[in-house]
Structure 1
């Protein structure tokens, strides 16, 4: 074995480690918004994070928040009297309106949740989901319902065999 071979191997290993660390740092710094605070209420299943970007008030009834769902995390069933718009900014997740099939949602998708329609959304079992939720509170705040059952969560997904 050539004497230079171990040095070359070590040099390439160091370069590989540095580039991996830079990739992780880029991912962490490339978020559109900070993760915010961990959600600790009973309206979410699993680990999720909320960064409230805009609070609704008397002059503007729109609330905006960035929500990060770790794999397996999701909301309970709920509805919004004024409706909601979900902007999927990273990852892959699930969305379902009561009585309809589960749908895949992914980066770049937009979902309009009509007023008073029972629905839930969250990450898949294997992927993180980051969404910006734009909620109109003019007719009242979100109404939380029961948790999503494991059967509903693991239901076949529309358009996926």
Structure 2
């Protein structure tokens, strides 16, 4: 058993994120384990770029309200919600305009394919859909 030293909080790079995003690496897939876990914090309106993971990705919301979107679907994420994107599925995730959001991002390798930034129009369309879904 080993107590791992904390790693410093890192700002999300501008080529992969829009807005204020910071993350803490919890597990890096060192040695024989492939698990990678980051605690990611999004300011209102902040989001990832379009991306996919070769082995999929699981997100677990710890705080706030966020959105995860594919080209076909939008899901509102609240504390305690867990969303899985299967291998190769292009998606993005981030905070709603009026909320911060934090989630644990979990995946098994470094083979992420990053695409274009989510445009303001794509973000607005997804958050309007999220707002409609929230109202039931």
How high is the TM-score relative to the length of structure 1?
0.72
- Pair 1:126 & 2:123 matched: no
**What are structure 2's unaligned runs of at least 5 residues?**
1-5
Q: What is the root-mean-square deviation in Å for CA atoms of aligned residues?
A: 2.0
Aligned residue for 1:117? 89
- Pair 1:43 & 2:16 matched: yes
Does structure 2 conserve the Cα–Cα contact (< 8 Å) formed by 1:35 and 1:66?
no
Aligned residue for 1:65? 38
Secondary structure (helix, strand or coil) at the match of 1:87 reads: strand
Q: Which has the higher strand share?
A: 2
Secondary structure (helix, strand or coil) at the match of 2:67 reads: strand
Q: Higher relative contact order by CA 8 Å / sep ≥ 6: 1 or 2? A: 2
- How many equivalent pairs are there? 126
**Which is higher, the Rg of structure 1 or of structure 2?**
1
Deviations 1:117-144 (A, max 9, x none): 000000011100000011121xx52111
How high is the TM-score relative to the length of structure 2?
0.85
Map of 1:21-100 to 2, 5 A cutoff?
A: 36-100=9-73
**What are structure 1's unaligned runs of at least 5 residues?**
1-32
